[in-house]
Each structure stands twice: as C-alpha cells, then as structure tokens.
Chain A
Amino acid sequence: MSNKIKAAIIGPGNIGTDLLMKAQRSQLIEPVWMVGVDPESPGLARAAEMGLKTTADGVDGMLPFMQEDGVQICFDATSAYVHAENSRKVNERGAVMIDLTPAAIGPFCVPPVNLADAVARKAMNVNMVTCGGQATIPLVAAVSRVQEVTYGEIVATVSSKSAGPGTRKNIDEFTRTTARGIEVCGGAHTGKAIIIINPAEPPLIMRDTVHCLTHDDPDQEAITRSIHQMIAEVQKYVPGYTLKNGPVFEGKRVSIYMEVEGLGDFLPKYAGNLDIMTAAGLRTAEMYAEEILSGNFVPNAA
C-alpha cells in the first residue's frame, strides 16, 4: 500500500506543471490527475506522458473517478473566477482544496506562519494568498511576533516574463489580497501591497522589500534574530529565499530587502514569485498528508 496521499492538479498551465514536477519528488504526495479545459493543452500532454490521468473537460471530467482513484487533495491553479465552483465540487467528493488562485474563499495559509493552524482547524479549503504574499508575509510575521507592528508594507518586483495574463488582467486582486494577508497572517494592524513589473532582459530575479512600522522603538537584536530564523524556515521549501540587505532600522521603520530565486523546475529560476507559490502549495499539501496518514484528519464532505 502506498504511503502517499493522492492528489489532483487543476490547471495544466505554468503553475500547474511546475507544481507537478515538485510533487513528483514528494515523499507524501502522489499526483494522479491533471485537469484542464483544452484538449490541445501542452500541459495536459506533458502530464499524460508522466503517467497521470488527464481530462480536458474541467473538474467535471475528473469527479466521477475521484473517489475510486482515492484523490484526497486538489490544487487549483486556474483562476479566481472558477475557483469557488471547483472547490465546492471536489469538497463534496471529500478532497481538501488548496487554492493557488487569488479567490481567497478559504483561510489564508502562509506555511511558516500559520500552516499548523490551518491544518489543526481541518479547513477543507485553504488559500495561498499571492506570490508576493508568500514571499513577504513571513517577514512581517517575524517582526510582529517580536513586537507590535502598526503598519506593514511590501513591494514585490517581478519580471515581465513571470507575470502571466491572469495577474495582469486582475492586478487589483494582487494588491488587495496581499494587503489583507499582511494584516491577517502577518499581524500588522494595517497592510499595504505594491507590485512592480519590470521588463528588463535578462529577466530580473523576484525582489521583495518589506517595510514595517513598529509601535514602540524596534528591539533591533530580537527582530534581527527573528528574521533570520524565519528566513531559515522558508528556505526549507524555497532554498533561493535570500536576505539581500537589512534589516535596516531607522526610527520605527524596519526594512528588509529580499531576493527569491526559484528552483527552476518548469519555470525559470528568475520566476521566484511563481516558484514560491507552488512550493508553498506543496508544503501545505504535505502537512495535510501527514495528518491524514497519521489518522488525525479524515477529509470529508461534511
């Protein structure tokens, strides 16, 4: 008997394919289905070659087989518009949904910050915030776990080539959802998110700046230590998560300058913004899988 939890990936695009490549190395997750909507999709063909079952009929094409194939975890790498329907359908079949879209109908999950809470709550849908959120919220939390953060602001700069059509069509979702994540998961009273798209060639590696304003004067030593610990946590699933400069302290401002290089699985290394999403999504699934395997959690349609 397999000691892995079977999973389905919905959306065979760049994100879905990168996730598939990462999931195939997992000790806890076995990807068995790839779901798309276009029979000509190269992502579906690639998944079929890797031995997955595929359908071009959307989630409905997989539903009748989900239970017999033992799918207990689904990843949605499609768009915010169709996510709610996808989630309802797979939840009804007893699978947990890990949402990589900005739909955010379930609780936010930023693995080193609150993954354990999400799993403990046995949430059937968790949302991975945004790429910028995954890259920066851990650091806002690293400051806010030391002392009160009245304001947290992040600036995510990504290369043009790594900003897909979904992000571009709905860039407001990024700024809103990330800002909310900074508050809810990051622990800042007020959150603000900015995204910059840069077309330079060769493409720049994702950069992130985190600014926190603390209520009292920052405890420089404790904050610095907390930041380094948090970076080590993220590096467990994104090895290219690197502190470039800082923390810089100026009055009540704490600024942290980061670079996020991806693993270069399906997406190029500069697209650390996409890599950190797929890596965080997989990390979340693995934590669920551990709970399921140990008998602590039985996902069901309730």
Chain B
Amino acid sequence: MDAFALARPSRRSILAGTAALIAMPSVLRAQTRELVVGGAAGHKPWVEQIVVPAFEKKYNCKVIFEGTRSLVNLEKMQKNKDRQYMSVVQMDDPVMILAVKEGLLDPLTPAKAPNMADLLPGSTHMDGMWANYLQPWLGIAYNKTAVKAPPVSWAELFDATYKGRVIIPSLQNTEGLPILFAAGLLTGASLDAAQKDTDVGFKKLATLKANLLTIYTQQPQAYNLLEQGEAHLIGPAMSSYCLERKAAGAPIDLAAPKEGVFAMPSGIAVIKGAPQPELAFAYVNELLGAELQGKLAGPTFSLATNKAVPKPEGLGADVKIFQIDWANVAAQRNDWIKRWDRDMAI
C-alpha cells in the first residue's frame, strides 16, 4: 500500500492493480474457508476478541462477524433466502421464533453439534432449531449507599420503605417482561401458571405503583438514576449491564432473589442453505462447549448453558434459574402491553 502511494501510478498500472484487487477475494476464498456470522452489535467485542481467534486457529478458517440488531439479521436472512451468505446467526429468542416460522433455520442435532448433550435442560428450543449459549440473568439492582442489606426477594420491590424509589423496565423492553411473572410468583402461582394467566400478576403489579419512581424504556437513564441515589432499586435488572457498571466503579450491585432469577434469551442457530455448513455447525458447537463458555461467562457477566461451567460469582450454586416461554410471550405480548398502559399509568 505504501509503495502504491509513493510511486505515481500510470494508468496502466492502475488498471492492472484494480484487476488484481477484483480477482483477489476469490483467490483468498479458494485458500481459506470463510464463515460469516450475524449477531448483535453489542457482542462484537467479545466475539472478535475471544471467540474468533480461538475458532480460526482450530479450524484454519476466517470468521467475519456482522454486528447489528436482531430484526436486521432476520431481514438479511429473508432477503437472501435463496442464496444465503451468512452461515450462523446469534439472535434473541423472540426473533428466533420468527425465523423458524419463515423456515430460515437448519435444526441442530447431537450428531452435528455434540456439545448439545451437555447443555442444561431448557437450553434448546423448537426441536433444536436454536440453542441458548450464554444468558445474562435478571435480578434486582440496588444502590449500595442507600440499601444496606442486599434485597433477598422480589417482594422487596413492593416494600413500603421504597416509596417512590423503585424503577422497573417497560414491558416493551425484553428485560421488562419477567416483572409480570415475578409478580405472579409472589402470589403463590407457579412459573407456568404465572406465564399463562397473567391476571394475578397484573393485579399484584398495581400495588407497586406507590413505589414506582418511573418505568424506563431507556436503560442508561435508569442506571443513571440508580447510581445517583434518586432510585434505590431496579428490577428486573440485567447482569450484563448492571455488573459492567459495577465493574466500572458505580456504587451499585446486583442481588439474586431467593425465588429465583430469570434468564435472558440469547440464541445461536445455523441458517438453512448456508455456505460452509460443517464449519457453521462447528462454530455453534464450540459456543455450546464448556471451554469457550468458561472463558466468556466472566467478561459477559452471563450464565453458561453448559452443565460443566460453574455459576458466576454473586449467584449461589443453588439459585433457581427461570427459563421464559418466549413463544407464549410472542403470542400475548401486545395484549399485555395494552393492559400495562392502562393499569400502570400515573
């Protein structure tokens, strides 16, 4: 490149150079296999720093990670249905459900991804269409200066001592949905019952209104208020966000309520008709494996789905982890949001 810039190129040399540049990608492709993975923009740092180098070395190939939003990934898959260029996709479960409906995914099998056998129950969905690899968990975030004893139960969000000091996420946000189920659990319902019939949950939530500082749609705003002490509790709060703020020095921490914590949806799947299918299944298999998950759980403040990886710090070994039925959520969410707007209004 430097030589190119120094020498004044003649027209002919430019033509020759351009031709070589155009021809190059196919030459490269012939030499090294290339795998395109679509995922979330926020995942780019850990994918490129930890996953990609390990995988490229082991399989002698090149991995390109395209970070964007889940719905954009879905659109890319729809547009290229006859000629996919991405092989693997990392998306949230609710979007995976849409991809399955469109027939865009190639199911995982234990033969193609042997690490599936070592996953915790509930980590694969819709007959293996996709699997969860790492899951941020949802607990209660609290300001350490204002709250001396870490909250031990979801019931503390409803405690009168926190009048006007509690923030919850909107149902519009994925991390906000479990508040409805947690409220149902507090009335004595099972998780299944709390998800299917949300009426008791909504009635319980109405009693939270006196404690509410606000309901957020923008996560950074909520944490800003928590760190400054205007808010004392945020629940449900996402480990990947809260613990990263804590690691950055914010006076906050995340508690795991005794009833259990909720797992956030983060799935991985192979795209149907993808280039390099063996490599694609190998990539998924690696992300489901104990070795890579063990390396990733810490930096991403997430739960591993492989049985062999211990639970992260701050979560007791016996803490219950709830997996949400995202198909049920997809079917009912709009009706829930309608009721939420009415019941939770100021």
Q: Are A and B bound to each other?
A: no
